[in-house]
Structures are given as C-alpha cells and as structure tokens.
C-alpha cells in the first residue's frame, strides 16, 4: 500500500497520522528546491514513528539543475547514504521502475497476527452522501470481516461493518482485511464526530486487551482573516 501525504507545514498532523499506518516512507525532495525546513520536520516525524526512510530526488528532468547539491544536502543534513538516494522524474517516468524495486528491497514487510484479537488503526476518513463516513484503516492484528460487530476503543462507539474495500487505486470491495493490510470500511455512521482519527478498532466478540499506542484527541481549529471592503468600516468591524 502507498499512502500519499502532503508536505506543507499546515498539514503536519495529516502526515503524522498517515505515517503511523506505514512501515516506511519515501522522503521526496524537489531538486530545484533542495532540502527545506518542512523536509527536515517531516523527516523527524518519520524517525519518531520508527519508519525506514528512503530518500528520493524528484524532477531530475529539469534542465540545468544541480542534482549533486541536492544529494549533498540529504547526506550532510539528514545523514542519508548516497547509495540509498533515488533519482526520479515523476513527470517523465524516469527511475520509477527502479524506485519500486528499491521499495521492495528497502522497506520491511508488515507484521501482525491474523489469529489475534482485532486491532486496526483509523488513520483517515471522509464523508460520502450515500455511505456515510468511510473510515480508512490499517489492520495491525486480527481480521476485519463483513457484518462484524466492532468497537472504537477510545470513543466507545459500536457499529456493524457494512462494506470493506481496498484501494487499487480505485476502491474495490473485498470480504475481509487481514493483518498488515490497508483499506476502508463503512458502518452506517453519518456523524464525523463519532469517528476519531487515531482511534483503534476492535471486535466486540473478542476485543483486544488495549488500544494501539499514540492516540491523541484533535482540537478543531479554523484560522481566517476578515477585512472590510471599505477602510472606513474598520473600526465598526473591530
């Protein structure tokens, strides 16, 4: 499974929650920009989550760019080995096949026990007008099956699974998700506040002894700037 995350500072928690569902990460650096402050921040997020990190320099098809300088930054700032740095052009497809082979070699395979009580990480969700909340999960232990009764271990919300699927890359319905797999479930839940990203799913019939580590409650925040059209209205607005 490949999970794409944003790199911008405003989406730090989106990166963090996705990293918790992975064994490894590709740290993609734009060759024209080099290593930036958010590159370093995301690198340490991956380190804190014990991920194997594979450095990738992208956009090598651009004319008159200094690939060696970007390599040197990765080596000197983030202590990568030169032999592990992958050179690609996503636009032109250069180096992509070699990158996939390196992922298989470099990133450890998922571990887990299908026979253990279910523990599945909720790492994202979205709303669908017909299905309600679609919950993105990574199964750490156990198996998720259709019609299974589940419980969210932090919120206590219980539900029955109606649909299970994987991304290939479009959503494809399946009958179960086993340990190590990433997919989605629907449970006829329509209120986003009833599902908490970072929570652990378990079965009600044979629950896990405890939730997965690392959960923290999100505080929803909205930032905006409001200005009057006419400057004379500034004081009344205040």
Domains with residue ranges and CATH for the chain? 9-106 (3.40.50.300), 119-203 (2.40.30.10)
Residue 191, number of CB atoms within 10 A of its CB: 10
Half-sphere exposure of 32 (CA within 13 A, CB side): 7
Residue found under tokens 């419980």: 151
Question: What per-residue string of b and e applies to 21-41 under the rule 16 or more CB within 10 Å gives b?
Answer: bbbebbbbbbbeebbeebbee
User: Mind listing the pLDDT tens digit for each residue in 136-170?
Assistant: 999 999 999 999 999 999 889 999 999 999 999 89
Mean of pLDDT values over 129-134: 93
**Which has the closest alpha carbon to 198: 134, 124, 144?**
124
What is the model's pLDDT at position 162? 95
Please say if the pLDDT value at position 7 is more than 70: no
Q: How confident is the model at residue 18 (pLDDT cuts 50, 70, 90)?
A: confident
Mean of pLDDT values over 11-35: 84
* Angle of the 67-78 helix axis to the 37-48 helix axis, nearest 10: 50
Residue 114, number of CB atoms within 10 A of its CB: 13
Please say if the pLDDT value at position 116 is more than 90: yes
What is the model's pLDDT at position 16? 74
Mean pLDDT of the residues in the chain: 89
Question: What per-residue string of b and e applies to 154-184 under the rule 16 or more CB within 10 Å gives b?
Answer: eeebebebeebbbeeeeeeebeebbbbbbbb
Task: Give phi and psi for 102, each to the nearest 5.
Answer: -65, -35
Determine if residue 132 is left, alpha or beta; phi over 0 gives left, psi from -120 to 50 gives alpha, anything else beta.
left
User: Mind listing the pLDDT tens digit for each residue in 78-107?
Assistant: 999 999 999 999 999 999 999 999 999 999
What is the model's pLDDT at position 12? 67
User: Mind listing the pLDDT tens digit for each residue in 191-237?
Assistant: 888 898 889 999 999 999 999 887 666 665 566 778 888 878 888 88
Between 32 and 238, the more confident residue is: 32
């Amino acid at each position: 499974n490949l999970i794409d995350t944003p790199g911008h500072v405003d989406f730090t928690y989106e990166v963090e929650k996705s990293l918790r569902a992975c064994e490894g990460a590709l740290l993609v650096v734009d060759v024209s920009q080099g290593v930036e402050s958010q590159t370093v921040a995301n690198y340490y997020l991956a380190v804190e989550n014990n991920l194997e990190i594979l450095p990738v320099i992208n956009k090598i098809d651009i004319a008159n760019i200094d690939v060696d300088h970007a390599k040197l930054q990765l080596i000197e700032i983030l202590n990568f080995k030169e032999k592990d740095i992958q050179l690609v052009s996503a636009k032109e497809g250069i180096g992509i096949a070699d990158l996939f082979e390196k992922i298989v070699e470099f990133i450890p395979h998922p571990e887990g026990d299908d026979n253990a009580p279910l523990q599945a990480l909720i790492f994202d969700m979205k709303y669908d007008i017909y299905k309600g909340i679609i919950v993105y999960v990574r199964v750490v232990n156990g198996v998720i099956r259709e019609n299974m009764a589940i419980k969210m271990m932090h919120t206590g919300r219980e539900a029955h699974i109606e649909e299970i699927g994987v991304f290939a890359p479009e959503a494809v319905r399946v009958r179960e998700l086993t340990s190590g797999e990433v997919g989605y479930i629907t449970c006829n839940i329509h209120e986003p506040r009833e599902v908490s990203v970072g929570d652990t799913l378990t079965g009600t019939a044979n629950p896990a002894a405890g939730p997965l580590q690392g959960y923290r409650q999100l505080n929803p925040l909205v930032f905006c700037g409001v200005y009057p059209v006419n400057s004379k209205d500034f004081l009344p607005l205040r």
